[in-house]
């Protein structure tokens, strides 16, 4: 992590179900960017944000802005992460990029826990 650069980031690699997964987490002023890739590209990009005006029991909005729009597990992953961000006290939206070889629950859970473990929020 380069501490003098204004945008901090965390980069690491792990194996999920035998697939090497590269994860990068970046903290911008107004977004968190999380990239998890097994296929060498960013894959599908989703945006997840907290609805305005919600203090307790907030609601979130998740949408795919680039890529596969028919994989509910990806949206579920973004939803879990943005809720975690919100529970940690931040209202910043999440930009999540998932380039995964399979979209099983196990893989997505692996991604979520790896990101939470190395989070920047």
**Interface positions, 17-76, toward another protein (CB under 8 A):** 20, 22, 24, 26, 28-31, 33, 35, 37, 39-42, 45, 47, 65-66
Cα angle, residue 30 at apex, residues 63 and 109 outer, rounded to 5° = 50
Q: Which tokens go with 117?
A: 């473990």
Taken in order 80, 30, 86, 49, the sign of the CA dihedral is: negative
Rounded Cα distance between 90 and 29, Å, is 11
User: Which residue among 7, 17, 102, 117 contacts another protein (CB under 8 A)?
Assistant: 7
Q: Is residue 13 close enough to count as binding another protein by CB under 8 A?
A: yes
Rounded Cα distance between 9 and 62, Å, is 23
Q: C-beta of 29: minimal distance to another protein in Å?
A: 4
Of 22 and 71, which has the nearer Cβ to another protein?
22
Do residues 96 and 43 make contact, with C-beta atoms less than 8 angstroms apart? no
List of residues contacting another protein (CB under 8 A): 1-2, 5-7, 9, 11-13, 20, 22, 24, 26, 28-31, 33, 35, 37, 39-42, 45, 47, 65-66, 95
């Amino acid at each position: 992590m380069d501490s003098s650069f204004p945008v901090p980031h965390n980069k690491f690699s792990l194996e999920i179900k035998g697939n090497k997964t590269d994860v990068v987490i970046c903290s911008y002023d107004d977004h968190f960017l999380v990239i998890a890739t097994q296929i060498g590209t960013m894959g599908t990009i989703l945006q997840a944000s907290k609805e305005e005006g919600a203090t307790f029991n907030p609601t979130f909005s998740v949408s795919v802005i680039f890529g596969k729009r028919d994989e509910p597990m990806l949206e579920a992953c973004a939803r879990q992460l943005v809720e975690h961000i919100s529970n940690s006290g931040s209202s910043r939206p999440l930009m999540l990029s998932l380039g995964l070889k399979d979209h099983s629950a196990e893989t997505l859970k692996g991604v979520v826990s790896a990101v939470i473990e190395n989070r920047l929020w």
